[in-house]
Amino acid sequence: MLVSLTPVLRYWVTSLSTGWGTGRGNTLIVLGQDVTAPDMLGIGSYWRSYYAVLVWRENHFRRIVVTGKDAAPLMRDLVVNQGIPPAIITVEDAAISTHDNALFVGRILAGGDGPYVLLTSDYHMGRALS
C-alpha cells in the first residue's frame, strides 16, 4: 500500500517502461510471453497479440514474426482470426527467453526487409531492446 499510494510508484513504473516508437516499418516482431495451458494463451501473450492486430490494421506491415515457445503458434492463430493474412506471418517457436527471441528472430530476418518494429509489454521493452 505504501508503494501504491506514494510518488514512488510513478518513478518505478517509468523506470521499467520505455517510450512508444512510431510503429512504422515493414516487419512487426511480436514477443510471446506466456501460456496458461497447452492450447491457451496467457494474459501477456494475449494482449501482445491484440495490440499486434491493432498496429497491423493501422500500418499493414509486409511481414509479422511471432516468437516464443508454445505461445507463438497460438498467437498466430489469434491474429489470423482477426484478419491478418496467414501468408505474412512467420512463427518462431523455439525461443524460451528474451535472449532466444532476439537470437532466433535475428536469424530469420538476416538480410530482411527493415525497418523492424518490436512489440512487447511496456515493462519488458527496456530488456528486450538491450
The pLDDT of residue 114 is 84
Computed over its alpha carbons, how large is the radius of gyration of the chain? Answer: 15
Residue type, 85: P
Report DSSP state, residue 87.
G
The pLDDT of residue 18 is 54
The pLDDT of residue 113 is 76
All residue ranges of the chain with pLDDT < 70 are 1-23, 121-130
pTM (two decimals)? 0.80
The pLDDT of residue 4 is 57
